[in-house]
Amino acid sequence: MIKNIQRILIELANIHRFVMRFFREVFMPPYEFKEIVRQCYVVGWKSLPLISLTGFITGVVFTNQSRPSLAEFGATSWLPALISIAIIRALAPLVTALIASGKVGSQIGAELGSMKVTEQIDAMEVSGTNPFKFLVVSRVLATTISIPILSFYTAAVGLFGAFLSVNQNENTSFRVYFDQVFDAVTFLDVFSLVLKAVVFGFTIGIVGCYQGYHSSKGTEGVGKAANWAVVMSMFLVFVEEILIVQIIQAMRA
Amino acid sequence: MLKTGGHIDYNTEVITVRHVSKSFGENHVLRGVDLKLHNGENLVVLGRSGTGKSVLIKLISGLLKPDSGTIEVLGEHVDELNEKELQQLRLKIGFSFQNSALYDSMTVRENLEFPLVRNKRHLSRAEINHEVEDVLDAVGLLNTINQMPSELSGGQRKRIGIARTLILRPEIMLYDEPTAGLDPITCIEINGLINEVQEKYKTSSIIITHDLACAKSVGDRIVMLLDGRFERQGSFDEIFDTDDERVKPFHDYNFIT
Ligand SMILES: Nc1ncnc2c1ncn2[C@@H]1O[C@H](COP(=O)(O)OP(=O)(O)OP(=O)(O)O)[C@@H](O)[C@H]1O
Ligand SMILES: [Mg+2]
């Protein structure tokens, strides 16, 4: 028991050091622009199909599930407003982050893990390249930039899915639906989406990189790195979700 | 097949290791190692698996830090340098890894360009291409330039790994088991390559190996790591002129049937 707690504390200290190193190196030249752009492409573009599907289904299912409750009060005309708030405040960043934790987080963990195990990271280091900057900083920046963009995209797809459902059942037109959708959102809602997405993106990137960069020798180390990257970033995403909601609530009041 | 000299300057030491110890937890790997590498010399390090040969050259290149003792490379104390100075020093040291450590998401060409574009920013595209083709030609693998590392054989990977370290024109080469797991003909090719590098680029090298044929054909001097220390050193024949049970099997296994 004491040993476990000790291990967790040591791990936390290591993560803290890793994060501090990121902030120290992110502003120092040379900047690896090309690699950052390439990573954005990898992170963003490659998760697009899965995110499209999930976002769309989330929109449809959420709408269909909410309808009966509103119908009880004869308030189905509130559907667009309800959907819009739910998707933009909560669902879009969360769904995006969870998908990305699974797809991007595990990929980063496995990729850096295998580079670590096969000494490719050491090889970079001895050939005069800073591997932290080239591998870690570029990936973390890429997820921090891409996840917010993806979140907006998820929101758009989700709102569109919801529209199809509302249009089918309530005969609401495209114009009316989106008028109501945009009427319901405030600046703070959009701000909370961006804030969450940035924090989630940073978390997914840094956790994946940390697990990979510190993976143990041997091939099972790579699997473990990928696995832990997913578990840990999903857990942290939920914790951060709760914290950010509290902060936004406080700002709303 | 015995080596005939190079241009060794026994008065200049490019690497000086003094009383270096390194442990991993309870595992005391190196226990007071002393080592000198002279300018232009090919030094072979022999030793059983797990005696800390790879650890030794990782200490020399600053990938690991010694627990005690000092390491001087080209006149600089490796463990006292800051990040930037270390990076500068490392450009003069070529490190050929035991398992090649090629970047497997990049083609052979990109692997070779990688250290170049990052450290010699003034080079033009044409100059970079020329350098890449030059070292690839030196290791005899110009035809693999657009292949991925996963498409290469073990021996080819080794040679590309060596080419990637040569491209920065290092003054010192560290070879970690360059011939391990290769067929005899490829071994002979690699030994030839190591000697050629010594001649052509005027490098001083440390070559780690279990392979006595390799030791014999590339080594100007041989040292043997035993129980965390260098207890024996000398020419090939001097090293094996002994009844020490820790040393004899190396020779007997290779040369007696
Ligand atoms: N990063 C590390 N962390 C913990 N222990 C290590 C580390 N690197 C090496 N060791 C240990 O140090 C010892 C020596 O390892 P090293 O790789 O130097 O052996 P070697 O002489 O190169 O053997 P081989 O001929 O098999 O390559 C081994 O017992 C290994 O377990
Ligand atoms: Mg080794």
Closest CA to A39 of B65, B187, B202, B105: B105
pLDDT at B145 over 80: yes
pLDDT at B72: 94
Compute chain A's Rg from CA coordinates: 21
Whose Cα sits closest to atom 22 in ligand 1?
B54
Report, as an integer, the average pLDDT of A79-84: 92
Domain boundary among B150, B169, B188: B169
Q: Which of B97, B119, B168 to mutate to test the interface with A (most CBs of A within 10 A)?
A: B97
- Confidence grade of residue B84 (pLDDT, cut at 50, 70, 90): confident
Q: What confidence score (pLDDT) does residue A190 get? A: 94
B162, B185: one domain: no
Ligand 2 centre to CA of B79 (Å) is: 21
DSSP assignment of B168-186 equals T--SEEEEESTTTT--HHH
Domain boundary among B129, B154, B169: B169
Residue nearest to atom 4 of ligand 1 (CA): B24
Burial of B110 (0-12, 13-18, 19+ CB in 10 A): middle
Q: Which ligand 1 atom sits closest to the C-alpha of B64?
A: 1
Is residue B205 located within the same domain as residue B228?
A: yes
Asked if pLDDT for residue A152 goes beyond 80, the answer is: yes
Banded pLDDT at B1 (limits 50, 70, 90): very low
Mean pLDDT over B50-68 rounds to: 93
Give residue ranges of A with CB < 8 Å to any B CB: 30, 111, 115, 118-120, 122-130
Among the bound ligands, name the one nearest to the CA of residue B51.
1
Specify the residue for token string 């088991």.
Answer: B177
- The count of other CB atoms within 10 Å of the CB of residue A247 is 11
Same-domain pairing of B1 and B87:
yes
* Choice among A130-139, A195-204, B44-53 with the minimum mean pLDDT: B44-53
What are the pLDDT digits (tens) for B172-188?
999 999 988 788 888 89
Q: In the prediction, which pLDDT does B119 show?
A: 87
H or E element in which residue A232 lies: helix A219-252
Q: Are residues B194 and B71 in the same domain?
A: yes
Index of the ligand 1 atom closest to the CA of residue B210: 25
What pLDDT is stored for residue A87 in this prediction?
Answer: 95
Q: What is the residue whose two structure tokens read 């010399």?
A: B41
Secondary structure class of B116 (helix, strand, coil)? helix
Q: Nearest-CA residue of chain B relative to A111?
A: B105
Indicate whether B43 and B134 sit together in one domain.
no
Domain boundaries, chain A: 30-252
Tell me the three state secondary structure of residue A30: coil
Measure the CA–CA gap between B116 and A249, rounded to whole angstroms. 52
| pLDDT value at residue A67 | 92
User: pLDDT value at position B257?
Assistant: 53
Ligand nearest to the CA of B56: 1
Is pLDDT above 90 for B241? no
Same domain, yes or no, for B16 and B118? no
Q: Provide the H-helix boundaries in chain B.
A: 53-60, 83-90, 108-119, 125-138, 154-166, 184-201, 212-218, 236-240, 248-255
Structural domain of B105: 99-169
pLDDT for position B6: 60
The DSSP call for residue A136 is: I
Mean of pLDDT values over A9-36: 90
Is B157 found in the same domain as B227? no
**Residue B50: per-residue pLDDT:** 87
* pLDDT score of B211 more than 90: no
Enter the tokens of residue A54. 């999930």
Q: Is B106 left (phi over 0), alpha (psi -120 to 50) or beta?
A: beta
| Out of B103-112, B162-171, B181-190, least confident range | B181-190
Q: For residue B98, how far is its CA from the centre of ligand 2 (angstroms)?
A: 6
Give the closest residue (by CA) to ligand 1 atom 26. B49
Q: With the C-alpha atoms ordered A77, A83, A84, A90, is the resulting torsion angle positive or negative?
A: positive
Identify the residue with better confidence: B104 or B8: B104
- Please report the sign of the dihedral spanned by the C-alpha atoms of residue B225, residue B226, residue B228, residue B234: negative
* Residue owning tokens 């965390």: B228
Contacts of B102 in chain A (CB under 8 A): 120, 123
Residue B163 pLDDT class (50, 70, 90 cuts): very high
A6 exposure class (CB count in 10 Å sphere: 0-12, 13-18, 19+): exposed
Could you tell me the two tokens for B143? 């035809």
Residue B3 pLDDT more than 80?
A: no
Mean pLDDT, chain A, whole residue set: 92
Q: Give the CA distances from residue B256 to residues B145, B215, B234, B251, B252, in Å, rounded to whole numbers and listed in that order.
A: 41, 16, 22, 8, 5
* Distant-in-sequence, close-in-space partners of A69: CB < 8 Å, separation ≥ 6: none
- So what's the ipTM on this one? 0.89
- In this structure, the strands spanning B27-39 and B76-77 are unpaired
Residues of chain A contacting residue B99, judged by C-beta atoms under 8 Å apart: 118-119
For helices A138-170 and A92-100, give the axis angle rounded to 10 degrees.
130
CA-proximal residue: ligand 1, atom 2 (nearest): B24
Tell me if A197 sits within 8 A of A147, measured CB to CB: yes
Q: Are residues B75 and B178 in the same domain?
A: yes
What local confidence, expressed as pLDDT, does residue A119 receive? 93
Average pLDDT (A18-26) is 94
For the cut 60, the answer to whether the pLDDT of residue A69 exceeds it is yes
Least confident window among A108-112, A164-168, B81-85: B81-85
SS3 B89: helix
Cα angle vertex B132, ends B131, B135, to 5°? 85
Contact B54, B176 (CB under 8 A): yes
Which ligand is closest in space to the CA of residue B63?
1
Task: Tell me the three-class secondary structure of A179-231, residue by residue.
Answer: HHHHHHCCHHHHHHHHHHHHHHHHHHHHHHHHHHHCCCCCHHHHHHHHHHHHH
The number of the ligand 1 atom at minimal distance from the alpha carbon of B51 is 21
Asked if the bond preceding A30 is cis, omega within 30° of 0, the reply is yes
Nearest C-alpha of chain A: how many angstroms from B90? Answer: 6
Tokens 């790591």 correspond to: B225
Contacts of A120 in chain B (CB under 8 A): 101-104
pLDDT of residue B154 exceeding 90? no
Q: Using an 8 Å Cβ cutoff, are A168 and A60 in contact?
A: no
Measured in angstroms, how far is the CA atom of residue B51 from the centroid of ligand 2?
8
Phi, psi of B13 (to 5 degrees): -105, 125
Strand order in the sheet with B204-208: B93-96, B172-176, B204-208, B42-47, B221-226, B229-234
Q: How confident is the model at residue A17 (pLDDT cuts 50, 70, 90)?
A: very high
* Cα A203 to middle of ligand 1, angstroms: 33
The answer to whether A150 touches A99, Cβ cutoff 8 Å, is no
- Band (B249; pLDDT cuts 50, 70, 90): confident
CATH number of domain containing B33: 3.40.50.300
Does B146 share its domain with B39? no
Same structural domain, B115 and B34: no
Q: Same structural domain for residues B12 and B69?
A: yes
Number of domains in chain B: 2
Q: Are residues B87 and B192 in the same domain?
A: yes
The rounded Å distance from CA B49 to ligand 1 centre is 8
Given this model, what pLDDT does residue B213 score? 87
Which residues on A lie below 8 Å from B63 (Cβ)? 122, 125-126
Give per-residue pLDDT as tens, A228-245. 999 999 999 999 999 999
